[in-house]
Amino acid sequence: MTSKISSILIANRGEIALRIIRACRELGLKSVAIYSDEDTRSIHVKRADSAYHVGPAAPAQSYLNMNKIMEIAIAAGVDAIHPGYGFLSENETFAQLCEKNNIIFIGPKSLAMDLTGDKMKCKELMKKAEVPTVPGSDGVIEDVELAAEIAREAGYPVLLKSAFGGGGRGIRLARDENELRQEFEMASAESKAAFGKAALFVEKFLERIRHVEFQLVRDSHGNTRHLFERECSIQRRHQKLIEMSPSPIMTVDKRNEIGEIAKRAVDAVDYLNAGTAEFLCDPQGNFYFIEINSRLQVEHPVTELITGIDLVKLQISIANGEAIPFKQEDLKLNGSAIECRINAEDPFYEFAPSVGKVPNCNLPYGPGIRVDTYLYPGCTVSGFYDSLTAKLISWGSDFDESRRRMRNALDEFVIEGINTTIPLYKTIMNEDHFIKGELSTDYLDRYSIIEKMKTELKDKNSNFQNRILPAVATALLQSEYIKKNAHSRQGSQNNWRFGGMTN
């Protein structure tokens, strides 16, 4: 087939921009980078075939500035835009803008993004498609009396969720009817303020759950495949920290069953390109669909290592109108992969952001080790953007091999000048519950992992004195641009001493 795509603008920065540039290189496509004032010396600017200045450091004026990005795309004459994750990746207005300007948005159509962005609309469609969802209200609830009736039926505790929330925003717990009435009023007001409408729904609160998601791809010919699951239960304040595949609780039969359900979920919204169906799994092993993430995810390398499939190249070929070149039966889950997100945050100090110059660094390598990063000796980690500096991914023929490789690689990994989450992962890789696969979304608290790290690694805490100090962090968090990001579904993911944000 003749290729529609010969050049791609990458509307992102950091490690994911580098990941996409590599895919372009392999496919013989021209890559076009954009960069803010803060990123003039960033490596994605050097690695791309060309690079355009997009604006000031603040995301709203640079990586979120749709009109400016579109202007650059047109001036550069690109055929497609890859949004990466975060920023504009799940913004249906931006997808629409691309459609209007005849530039291929590498992702789903704006219509599907609209459906997946509205959690309630999405849930209704899933029920029709016989995808299991969490028991609760059938639609948006306007009236507190109706909310109380549904809660009584589902049984307390319940959650009140906003249809436009995500990543933990707009979720409130009610343990009894009194609390429900109280929370309903507050949640309505909050939702109106943030989204212009009070679209609330009620769900039974599932406790001690796991977060298990399925990687999906769907092409413009209607072919849908799942690329198995990732377990992402180890997280803190809705920020994933460790992801792995396979999930320790998955069996071959369950994988086939939930995988087919996940395919029905993306078929139901006429999804295009790569996406993820997110499920909550209760201690009895029941799976409940909660949402579709309509982007390439941070943790996609985990799936790449256990399937051998290059998801970014596959995304580009799907956007180019090509059919997925493999059948479901062709896929084999090979071995085990683990990803640790190396964030510029101090785990010894409430995960306070730690930014500045990295005078030196030394990346791990060796059998089964992959590092996706923008770090280089002498680089700077900016406080304006997401704290993710590197993704360390290990592969092994089984969980124990990937775990040991990860542990060794963490020991080899040197990042000078800033504090990172590396010490936390060293503790987790040797922790009994982790080794036994006993995971849940409250893993860190349940097993006092931070305390354990502090005891074990007291002397090894590098503790560079360059944290954004509480007063400065508070001022920064209250500044206008971060406030804006907190209410959009994209932007900085730094949630230190701040409400949960998008993941």
Q: Which is nearer to ligand MV4, 419 or 490 (CB)?
A: 490
Q: Which is nearer to ligand MV4, 135 or 356 (CB)?
A: 135
Q: Least separation, in Å, of the C-beta of 341 and ligand MV4?
A: 14
Largest Cα–Cα distance of the chain, in whole Å?
63
Taking CB under 6 A as the criterion, the residue among 92, 124, 203, 299 binding ligand MV4 is 203
Site size toward ligand MV4 (CB under 6 A) is 17
- Residues of span 261-280 touching ligand MV4 by CB under 6 A: 280
Q: Which is nearer to ligand MV4, 239 or 317 (CB)?
A: 239
Q: Least separation, in Å, of the C-beta of 94 and ligand MV4?
A: 22
Q: Segment near ligand MV4 (CB under 6 A), from 201-209, 221-229, 264-272, 412-420?
A: 201-209
Please tell me whether residue 206 binds ligand MV4 under the rule CB under 6 A: yes
Q: Are the beta carbons of 89 and 107 closer than 8 angstroms?
A: yes
Q: Least separation, in Å, of the C-beta of 282 and ligand MV4?
A: 9
**Residue count (the chain):** 503
Taking CB under 6 A as the criterion, the residue among 137, 273, 419, 441 binding ligand MV4 is 441
Q: Least separation, in Å, of the C-beta of 48 and ligand MV4?
A: 33
Q: Which is nearer to ligand MV4, 10 or 148 (CB)?
A: 148
Q: Are the beta carbons of 158 and 147 closer than 8 angstroms?
A: no
- Work out whether strand 200-204 and strand 169-174 pair parallel, antiparallel, or are unpaired: unpaired
Please tell me whether residue 211 binds ligand MV4 under the rule CB under 6 A: yes
Q: How far apart are CA 390 and CA 345, in angstroms?
A: 12
Taking CB under 6 A as the criterion, the residue among 63, 164, 205, 496 binding ligand MV4 is 205
Residue showing tokens 């009236």: 143
Taking CB under 6 A as the criterion, the residue among 168, 321, 335, 437 binding ligand MV4 is 168
274, two tokens: 């790569």
Q: Which is nearer to ligand MV4, 177 or 322 (CB)?
A: 177
- Residues of span 43-62 touching ligand MV4 by CB under 6 A: none
Residues 111-140 as x/- pattern, contact with ligand MV4 by CB under 6 A: -----------------------x------
Please tell me whether residue 157 binds ligand MV4 under the rule CB under 6 A: no
CA dihedral 370, 374, 375, 380 (to 10 degrees): -160
Q: Least separation, in Å, of the C-beta of 223 and ligand MV4?
A: 28
Q: Least separation, in Å, of the C-beta of 136 and ligand MV4?
A: 7
- Work out whether strand 239-245 and strand 224-236 pair parallel, antiparallel, or are unpaired: antiparallel
Q: What are phi and psi of 439, to 5 degrees?
A: -120, 150
Question: Residue 273's closest CA among 161, 116, 393, 64?
Answer: 116
Q: Least separation, in Å, of the C-beta of 398 and ligand MV4?
A: 26
Helix (H) or strand (E) holding 117: helix 110-117
For residue 387, what are the CA distances in angstroms to 31, 221, 338, 381, 440? 25, 38, 19, 8, 23
Residue showing tokens 């110059």: 357
Q: How far apart are CA 58 and CA 96, in angstroms?
A: 23
Q: Which is nearer to ligand MV4, 268 or 292 (CB)?
A: 292
Residues 335-374 as x/- pattern, contact with ligand MV4 by CB under 6 A: ----------------------------------------
Q: What secondary structure letter does DSSP report for 284?
A: T
DSSP H stretches of helix in 298-414: 300-307, 311-319, 399-412
- Residues of span 277-296 touching ligand MV4 by CB under 6 A: 280, 290-291
Beta strand ranges found along 414-476 (DSSP E): 414-415
Q: How far apart are CA 479 and CA 60, in angstroms?
A: 12
Q: Which is nearer to ligand MV4, 77 or 139 (CB)?
A: 139
Q: How far apart are CA 435 and CA 269, in angstroms?
A: 38
Task: Number of helices (H) and strands (E) in the chain: give both, helices first.
Answer: 18, 22
Q: Which is nearer to ligand MV4, 276 or 492 (CB)?
A: 276
Catalytic positions are 295
Question: Residue 188's closest CA among 146, 156, 152, 154?
Answer: 146
Q: Least separation, in Å, of the C-beta of 243 and ligand MV4?
A: 11
Q: Least separation, in Å, of the C-beta of 239 and ligand MV4?
A: 9
At 7, is the secondary structure helix, strand, or coil? strand
Q: Which is nearer to ligand MV4, 171 or 457 (CB)?
A: 171
Q: Which residues bind ligand MV4 (CB under 6 A)?
A: 134, 159, 167-168, 171, 203-206, 209, 211, 235, 238, 280, 290-291, 441
